[in-house]
Amino acid sequence: MLDPQLFRSDLNEVKIQLDRRSYDFDTAAYEALESKRKAVQIKTQDLQNERNKSSKSIGQAKAKGENIQPLLDQVQHLGNQLKEAETELSQIQQKMTELMEAIPNFLDEVVPAGKDEDDNVEISRWGDLPEFSFEAKDHVDLGESKGLNFEVAAKIASARFAVLQGPLARLQRAIIQLMMDTHTLEHGYSETYVPFLVNADSLYGTGQLPKFESDLFKANNDPALYLIPTAEVPVTNIVRDVIVDAKEMPLKFVCHTPCFRSEAGAYGRDVRGMIRQHQFEKVELVQIVSEKKSVKAHEELTNHAENILKKLNLPYRKVLLCAGDTGFSSSKTYDLEVWLPGQGKYREISSCSHFKDFQARRMQARWRNPETGKPELVHTVNGSGLAAGRTLIAVMENYQDEQGRVHIPEVLKPYMGGIEIIE
RNA sequence: GGAGAGUUGGCCGAGCGGCUGAAGGCGCUCCCCUGCUAAGGGAGUAUGGGCUUUAUCUCCCAUCGAGGGUUCGAAUCCCUCACUCUCCGCCA
């Protein structure tokens, strides 16, 4: 949610900012609603004030034993008028909220213009692409004989699920362990375990609801619970409706969870393999920081994710998403894309976003700034560190040999119980 | 699943339908006193919104788990829901 004050004080700037997003904001409609809101709110509060004063004087008269009937008659007319005004006001406010919560975050000034992923800007590359003397296989072919099975998963559940067994299943667990250990021991994140089902308020807080309900799996509960699409949702909502003590800032959480996405808008994309699944494992990094430190925190968090790729010696590139590719709640997003020899392409393995106060305003997540003594909205920053399923794919494809075996990267060996090669 | 108790400010805790945005205590901040420490005295200490505004103060509205209702007036009465705790049952 954007700051409503800004809409009142500088609508022009709002329009300019939203144009960058190609978000068609109807300023005339907004202004009409806003002026109505102002008039009705003032009227309502005046009536409330009148009622409060009269009621108080009735109380005082009664205490003195005076006849209160004339006073009661005086207040008679107020009731209906007030009720009407209050109803109208709450309707207007609801409309206003609906309008505001559908508006995406402003883009950071450094975000390049552009329509889709083709317009993203490459920031850097790291690592040497592996050179094979044979034709590189993709993870589906490599996994076929090693316990990666899509048919069984389809039987058990449906398409877009995978079953992993044996050393390959262990490899994914090893990858997760490496990430958790690195982020807790070397990067200073606090290990966090959370519910995998969340309520609508939490999804609203991070921006998935109300706009993107179709991307979610909804459990048949009352009130509704949803499977988390990312640990970002439960973890960030830890600070919903909280005023964080300055001493505790910044908060840094790392959390491994499965993620569930219905991928409703992605039919036909990445149908082969486990690139795009309804369920996948991910390690998520979340930081709750003050406004002043958030830009730096975003850079650092992205580096923390990059460190995992470096440890695994996986070639990757860092990309700054363009206007059209930056998510609804984000003001600026870096994607990390890992090299997949099987596809001959870089593919997203992490997405690190800076939300500024957009999520915090929805969540009423604040901290007390010692300089002012006042509660101020926090800034939220998060990123995958990394998507474990895709990391597994990347390890398989980058560490394959001519016999179709997968070699275990050096850093993962301590977690593999003596396995060095998956045959 | 069954039975009971509860939800008030940063925390603890009071609160006959009107003078309670809320006693008292703790904590915190500032001041005084005391040659350190301790003890003592005084003042302050919720959040959101509106109006206005360069900005602030005053002012106005809302908020005592959430939502409805009764009433001129609700923290206080009624209804629904959520959550927490205790005991029993079940359970990894």
pLDDT in tens, A326-383: 999 999 999 999 999 999 999 999 999 999 999 999 988 888 888 777 888 999 999 9
pLDDT tens digit string along A94-122?
Answer: 888 889 989 999 999 999 999 999 999 99
Which helix (H) or strand (E) covers residue A43, if one does?
A: helix A27-63
Per-residue CB contacts under 7 A with strand B, chain A residues 25-44: 38, 41-42, 44
Nearest nucleotide to the CA of A56, by C1', is: B18
Distance A292 CA to B37 C1' (A): 39
Nearest nucleotide to the CA of A361, by C1', is: B48
Residue A53 approaches strand B within 7 Å at CB: yes
Distance CA A189, CA A182 (A): 9
- What DSSP character marks residue A182? I
Distance CA A323, CA A400 (A): 37
Residue A221 approaches strand B within 7 Å at CB: no
Residue A83 approaches strand B within 7 Å at CB: no
Residue A375 approaches strand B within 7 Å at CB: yes
Q: How high is the mean pLDDT of chain A?
A: 92
pLDDT tens digit string along A125-139?
Answer: 999 999 999 999 999
Q: Tokens 């795009």 identify what position?
A: A276
Residue A63 approaches strand B within 7 Å at CB: yes
Per-residue tokens: A178: 């490496």
Q: Tokens 């925190």 identify what position?
A: A297
| Rounded-to-5 percentages of helix, strand, coil across chain A | 45, 20, 35
Provide the terminal-to-terminal Cα distance of chain A, rounded to the nearest Å.
Answer: 51
Q: Is A401 helix (H, G, I), strand (E, B) or coil?
A: coil
Nearest nucleotide to the CA of A58, by C1', is: B72
Per-residue tokens: A387: 């998507």
CATH 3.30.930.10 intervals, chain A? 117-422
Is the CB of residue A7 less than 8 Å from the CB of residue A15?
no
Supply the pTM of this predicted model.
0.92
Nucleotides of B under 7 A from a protein CB: 10, 18-19, 47-51, 60-62, 72-73, 82
The highest-level CATH class for domain A26-101 is mainly alpha
Among A403, A339, A319, A410, smallest CA distance to A130 is for A339
Q: Is A239 helix (H, G, I), strand (E, B) or coil?
A: helix
Per-residue tokens: A335: 């994607």
Residue A311 approaches strand B within 7 Å at CB: no
Distance A225 CA to B86 C1' (A): 28
Distance CA A52, CA A64 (A): 19
DSSP letter for each residue of A116-172: SGGG-EEEEEESPPP--SSPPPPHHHHHTTTTEEHHHHHHHS-SS--EE-THHHHHH
CATH 1.10.287.40 intervals, chain A? 26-101
CATH architecture of A117-422: 2-Layer Sandwich (3.30)
DSSP letter for each residue of A296-314: HHHHHHHHHHHHHHHHTT-
In the predicted model, what is the mean pLDDT of residues A236-260?
Answer: 91
Q: How many other CB atoms are found less than 10 A from the CB of residue A164?
A: 21
Per-residue tokens: A55: 């009621």
Q: Provide ipTM, 2 decimals.
A: 0.83
